[in-house]
Amino acid sequence: MEIDEAVKELETLKGSILIQLAGKAKLIFEKYSPIQSHRLDGRKRVLNLELKNGEKVTIKFRKVRNKNELVVAQYTIRI
């Protein structure tokens, strides 16, 4: 299934700037399913994606302590 492959790639994602990390996450999902819309909330560090097949993906990023790095903290996929 395409979403499972996207999630595997998403779990290994790391970066230092939120916009770049969100862009990489968006590209990962774009490889497997076309994206209809996206929204990034910088204050909450949340990326919301709506895929063309009707699924909604929410990705929350968190800052790693003692490092200048952001990682994926939590993600949900709703059908």
> Binning pLDDT at 50, 70 and 90, where does residue 79 land?
low
The token pair that represents 68 in the structure block: 């200048």
pLDDT at residue 71 in the model: 85
**Which range of residues forms the domain containing residue 44?**
2-78
Return left, alpha or beta for 66; rule: phi > 0 is left, psi -120 to 50 is alpha, else beta: left
pLDDT at residue 74 in the model: 82
11-57 tens-digit pLDDT: 888 888 889 999 999 999 899 889 999 999 989 999 999 999 888 99
Split into its structural domains, the chain has a count of 1
The residue-averaged pLDDT of 63-79 equals: 81
pLDDT at residue 37 in the model: 95
